[in-house]
């Protein structure tokens, strides 16, 4: 993943079946990108692009 964007349709790959954000060890990204990923998912949730509970 080169750049994290809240509009990226692949953000669903980093959510569990229950809608939680996967841990950094499971996602395989470094700490900096994990924080960016979490922020993008939270932004997408607040804009109703991703569900809070699928």
Whether 34 and 27 have beta carbons less than 8 Å apart is answered as yes
Please tell me the predicted confidence (pLDDT) of residue 54: 62
Domain ranges of the chain: 9-46
DSSP string across 1-54: --S--TT-GGGGGGB-TTSPBPPHHHHT--HHHHHHHHHHHHHHHHTTSS-S--
Please tell me the predicted confidence (pLDDT) of residue 1: 55
Q: Any idea of the CA torsion for 27, 33, 10, 43, to the nearest 10 degrees?
A: 120
| pTM (2 d.p.) | 0.88
Residues 6 or more apart whose Cβ sits within 8 Å of residue 26: none
Note down pLDDT in tens along the chain; length 54 residues: 578 899 999 999 999 999 999 999 999 999 999 999 999 999 999 999 998 876
């Amino acid at each position: 993943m080169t750049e994290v964007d809240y509009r990226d349709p692949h953000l669903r790959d980093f959510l569990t079946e229950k809608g939680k954000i996967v841990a950094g060890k499971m996602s395989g990204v470094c700490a900096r990108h994990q924080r960016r990923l979490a922020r993008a998912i939270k932004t997408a949730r607040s804009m109703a692009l991703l569900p809070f509970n699928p």
